[in-house]
Amino acid sequence: MMPKNVDARTAAQMHEDGALLVDIRETGELARVRIPGAHHHALSRLESGELPLGEGQAVVFFCAGGNRTAMNASRLAAKANGAPAYIMEGGISSWHQSGLPVEMGKSAEQSAGIFSRLFGG
């Protein structure tokens, strides 16, 4: 079954209710900005390792802007291994634009204006 799309606020509520947020961006992207409490599992290594999912736990996948998750929806659904799977539309950019918390990495903090360049705001 293909993952269903959810907006950032719905994804945040799902995470608060116990869903696993899975960041499929690459390590370099994660080093700049991340969602607190999200599990990192890079798309380039999707087939390796398992997701730390509990029985019946929903999973919400996200990337930077939503394109990678949308293009890889069937691979992500397979990785969910039968768990309820969702894709956060707009990725971490949408999360931030919705006023939800993000953590900045040291490299981003040292680069003046990186947040504005990444998210336009």
3-class SS letters over 68-87: HHHHCHHHHHHHHCCCCEEE
Structural domain containing residue 20 = 4-105
Asked whether residue 51 is assigned to any structural domain, the reply reads yes
Please give the tally of structural domains in the chain.
1
CATH code for the domain of 76: 3.40.250.10
Asked whether residue 16 is assigned to any structural domain, the reply reads yes
Produce one character per residue of 18-38: b if its CB has 16 or more CB atoms within 10 Å, e if not.
Answer: ebbbbbbbbeebbebbbbeeb
Q: Report pTM.
A: 0.87
Asked whether residue 78 is assigned to any structural domain, the reply reads yes
Asked whether residue 118 is assigned to any structural domain, the reply reads no
Asked whether residue 120 is assigned to any structural domain, the reply reads no
Asked if the model's pLDDT at residue 119 lies above 70, the reply is no
Asked if the model's pLDDT at residue 15 lies above 90, the reply is yes
- Across the range 20-44, mean pLDDT stands at 96
Condensed to tens digits (0 to 9), the pLDDT of residues 88-114 reads 999 999 999 999 999 998 754 444 455
Asked if the model's pLDDT at residue 24 lies above 50, the reply is yes
Condensed to tens digits (0 to 9), the pLDDT of residues 49-62 reads 899 999 999 999 99
